[in-house]
A and B are shown apart, each in its own frame.
Chain A
Amino acid sequence: MDSQRIDLSPLDPMAEPERWERLVRAITRGAWPELNRRAAVQSPFALLASWARPMLSTAAILILLSAAAIALTRRQTGAPDAPPFGIAGELDVPVPAALWLSEERAPTVVELILAQEGGAQ
């Protein structure tokens, strides 16, 4: 076995850095049209994907702020008919229905009739 390494350094392309850089630049410049095409194809989807997370976060913050603002306004105005039941109250769910929801039970026929007549309000 011939185990002695041969000096092939005269074939090393990087021995001529300027020529090497020209080759790199020629390749990267030649790639511009294809890279631009790819960037253009990708952009609408990439844009939507990049917006999805911040948009969801913003929406969640807006919901919390709105709920807080509504609750504060109701307390300040001291509305007498303000339903006492948290989110159901804020959403103006009728009091009997809010009660049934909070107690997690089905209404009786009598309760339904009363609610329809508005007697419970």
Chain B
Amino acid sequence: MPESDGSLVERARRGDADAFERLVRRHLRTAYLTAVAAVAEPADAEDICQDAFLTALERLEDCRQPDRFLPWLLRIVRNRAHSFHRYRAVRRALPLDQVTTVADRSADPARDATRSELRQKLIAGLETLPPVQREVVLLHDLEGWRHREIAELLQIPEGTVRAHLSYARRALRNRLGCELWQESVNGLATD
């Protein structure tokens, strides 16, 4: 039986590195998807996750229900993402030579070009959705969460989760379907 979040949090509070790493491995994926839902860009989502986990560690005493570590962590992720939006707005306004660019941390960008292209399309599609719908569709269709779990996390009714999910799917399908169709038309025109 896996050790509970509560127990891991208690150990991490005492400086147990193994417990902290287990919390990271257990919840990083969900944290990452929440961050992607907020900022869309994977590299930015990674920065936000890193920042959020370190902030969480520094404030572990504020986690009053250690067994509900994940919802608490995701609140931090959303707050960091919100701050990141503001930071990015400022950064975009800086002259180019003063900007520290986010390095492309892909191990091998050419390795999976098709996947990368699909990812960009999905990200572009997600960016057209409201943040709450992005989070719902990512948690449900990628992370495998149930409606009830998402409703509990986001503190909204289960029916609203279903509605968000349905709307997000339809919007993504319309947009991606249209783009893919456009791509194939362009492909035919150039042949």
What chain A residues lie within 8 Å of B169 (beta carbons)? 2, 4-6
Instruction: Report A35 CB to chain B, min CB distance, Å.
Output: 5
Indicate whether A39 sits within 8 Å of B173 (C-beta atoms), given known contacts A8-B138, A23-B49: no
A3 to B147, CA, bound (A): 12
Chain B minimum-CB-distance residue to A20: B28
Partner of A42, one of B14, B46, B105, B140: B14
What chain A residues lie within 8 Å of B122 (beta carbons)? 8, 10-11
Partner of A13, one of B21, B42, B115: B42
Contacting residues of chain A (1-51) with chain B, CB-CB under 8 angstroms: 1-16, 18-19, 22-24, 26-28, 30-32, 34-42, 46
Give the B interface residue count (CB, 8 A). 45
Instruction: Report A44 CB to chain B, min CB distance, Å.
Output: 12
Give the A interface residue count (CB, 8 A). 37
B-side residues, CB < 8 A to A, are 12-17, 20-21, 24-25, 28-29, 32-33, 36, 42, 46, 49-50, 53-54, 57-58, 105-107, 115-116, 118-119, 122-123, 137-138, 140-142, 162, 165-167, 169-170, 172-173
